[in-house]
């Protein structure tokens, strides 16, 4: 579909109340970006997981005419929580915030929603998914159809599809892929080349100081990152999220 948004009006909260009512009636899809404040080695900023989904969401909105809800830039940090600058929130907090935002979007008539999270920790994703589930269940059916449709994903669900081609198979947190993506999005926030390293967490034990298993805060090789790789990964994610928007519009 073609973009009918007023130029510059990609953010939901840049609309007026009248425009918001119209957008809801038109059945616009809304992307809700969720990030985190989390250590990403010495070479990437704490907002790494926030700027990635926000960039993807805005590019998708530019191309499809969907809207981007104001982002929520906090998440549940486990492995990296003791590094300076990491700010974690509780599971119940993330669940409540996500549920409130989804319920409010729905109450305003926006019933096609994508939660796009830049942080992909397992408990973080479960909190978002449970919030979406509760809103979908509560809203039930309308005219024999599910009233509210919500997709919950991390942009790393799609970035990982290019790992085999562009990075080491074990590439992870603040590694090649993530560093390359930030180089392509906000080169001014790259602090250094980064230090290649890996971590080896205990498989089952809950530990007080998980950072001792990865003192650099990096899992992968940031020095193998390039802007070109980042552009390629971001373009792939944008194309995949556009397909999701079209699926929700159909
Ligand atoms: Zn990250």
pLDDT digits (tens, 9 = 90+) for 58-76: 999 999 999 999 999 999 9
Q: Give the Å distance between the CA of 49 and the centre of ligand 1.
A: 5
Residue 93 is predicted with a pLDDT of 98
Least confident of 134-148, 149-163, 197-211: 197-211
Q: Which residues of 151-182 are buried (b: 16+ CB within 10 A; e: fewer)?
A: bbbbbbbbbbebbeebbbeebbbbbbbbbbbb
Domain layout of the chain by residue ranges: 12-249
pLDDT-based confidence at residue 199 (cuts at 50, 70, 90): confident
- The tokens 């980064």 sit on which residue? 194
pLDDT digits (tens, 9 = 90+) for 97-120: 999 999 999 999 999 999 999 999
CATH architecture, domain 12-249:
3-Layer(aba) Sandwich (3.40)
Q: Give the Å distance between the CA of 109 and the centre of ligand 1.
A: 32
Whole-angstrom distance, CA of residue 115 vs CA of residue 135: 13
Whole-angstrom distance, CA of residue 134 vs CA of residue 162: 33
pLDDT-based confidence at residue 180 (cuts at 50, 70, 90): very high
Q: Give the Å distance between the CA of 217 and the centre of ligand 1.
A: 11
Residue 7 is predicted with a pLDDT of 53
Q: Give the Å distance between the CA of 143 and the centre of ligand 1.
A: 41
Whole-angstrom distance, CA of residue 65 vs CA of residue 172: 32
Q: Give the Å distance between the CA of 62 and the centre of ligand 1.
A: 24
pLDDT digits (tens, 9 = 90+) for 13-35: 999 999 999 999 999 999 999 99
67, 69, 75, 80: CA torsion to nearest 10 = 50
Q: Give the Å distance between the CA of 186 and the centre of ligand 1.
A: 14
Give, as residue ranges, everything with CB less than 5 Å from ion ligand 1: 48-49
Q: Give the Å distance between the CA of 2 and the centre of ligand 1.
A: 32
């Amino acid at each position: 579909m073609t973009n009918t948004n007023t130029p510059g009006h990609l953010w939901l909260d840049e609309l007026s109340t009248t425009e918001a009512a119209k957008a809801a009636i038109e059945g616009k899809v809304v992307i809700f970006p969720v990030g985190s404040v989390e250590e990403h080695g010495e070479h990437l900023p704490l907002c790494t997981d926030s700027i990635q989904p926000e960039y993807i969401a805005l590019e998708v909105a530019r191309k499809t005419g969907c809207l981007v809800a104001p982002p929520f830039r906090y998440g549940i940090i486990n492995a990296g929580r003791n590094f300076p600058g990491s700010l974690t929130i509780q599971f119940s907090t993330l669940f409540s915030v996500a549920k409130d935002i989804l319920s409010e979007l729905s109450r305003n008539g926006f019933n096609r929603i994508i939660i796009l999270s830049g942080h992909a920790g397992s408990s973080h994703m479960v909190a978002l998914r449970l919030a979406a589930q509760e809103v979908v269940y509560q809203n039930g059916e309308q005219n024999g159809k599910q009233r509210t449709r919500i997709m919950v994903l991390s942009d790393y669900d799609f970035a990982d599809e290019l790992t085999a081609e562009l990075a080491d198979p074990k590439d992870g947190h603040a590694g090649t892929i993530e560093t390359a993506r930030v180089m392509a999005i906000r080169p001014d926030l790259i602090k250094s080349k980064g230090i290649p390293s890996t971590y080896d967490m205990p498989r089952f034990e809950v530990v007080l100081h998980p950072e001792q298993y990865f003192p650099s805060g990096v899992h992968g090789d940031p020095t193998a990152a390039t802007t070109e790789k980042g552009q390629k990964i971001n373009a792939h994610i944008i194309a995949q999220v556009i397909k999701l928007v079209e699926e929700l519009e159909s």
